[in-house]
Amino acid sequence: MSRSTRLFEIIQILRAAPRPITADNLALKLEVSTRTVYRDIASLQAMHTPIEGEAGIGYMMRRGYDLPPLNFDQEEIEALRVGLLLLSRTGDSMLQKAANRIFEKVDVLHGPADWLQVSPWGTPTDDAEKGCVSISMLRGVIRDEYKLELTYRDEDNVETIRTVRPIALSYRSTCTLLAAWCELRNGLRHFRTDRIYGCKKLDDRFSGQGDTLRELWLSSYFSDEANS
């Protein structure tokens, strides 16, 4: 998270908090050190952001500090809420955290809507402590067009090591699929992220090839899905 994004998040958290929130709690939410929070709070106060409080007691935003409203109608707001809730079913932990931050911003401006609920059951979360590959990392290499070296086990538990060019993610009800050009098979393949047991970002890139490979993938995605 960039510093500018973090400063904005501190403002949003304090705007939504019903009572003073300590630097330790802010640090936990932002996944940074408490010392970093103290520096950020001091920077915001120096920019005349009306944050009141002190170390050891907690901080709060002075009432009346408003942000511009989101220009969505009621149906659009409810569509946004449901869409954000559905992200809990993707297994993508970083997208879930981003969704929670957006939800807090929507609640601040429009109030809560607890009557909108979505079943949380879906793809297991990509918990690094359980050896799961980070879906956020996969999204990053797709954007930047870096090759990956995968250690993959298929449904028969046969393990192979593949060099792939990752081009897309497909979030499904029970798993997330990585679409990639597989150099071992010389073709498009899908890899279930829960069957990737090793994942190394390589220095090699496939710059400029992503769009062409995605067009090829999309042309066959719904009619003849690639199998790994």
Euclidean distance between CA atoms 58 and 23, whole angstroms: 6
Q: Which residue range is the domain that position 110 belongs to? A: 68-122
Q: Is 226 contained in some domain?
A: no
pLDDT reported for residue 72:
74
Is 227 within the bounds of a domain?
no
Q: How many Å apart are CA 20 and CA 14, to the nearest integer? A: 8
Same domain membership, residue 202 and residue 143: yes
In the chain, what are the helix, strand and coil shares in percent, each to the nearest 5? 45, 25, 35
Query: Which of 9-23, 141-155, 165-179 is predicted with the least confidence, judged by mean pLDDT?
Result: 9-23
| pLDDT > 70 in the chain, percent | 93
**192 C-beta neighbours (distance < 10 Å), count:** 18
Tell me which amino acid residue 139 is: R
Quote the pLDDT of residue 104: 81
Number of domains in the chain: 3
pLDDT at 180 over 70: yes
User: Hey, what long-range contacts does 64-73 have (CB within 8 A, 24 or more apart)?
Assistant: 65/15, 67/11, 67/15, 67/108, 67/109, 69/109, 70/106, 70/109, 70/110
Same domain, 132 and 217: yes
Residue 150 vs residue 48, higher pLDDT:
150
Quick one: pLDDT at residue 226?
Answer: 45
CATH number at residue 53: 1.10.10.10
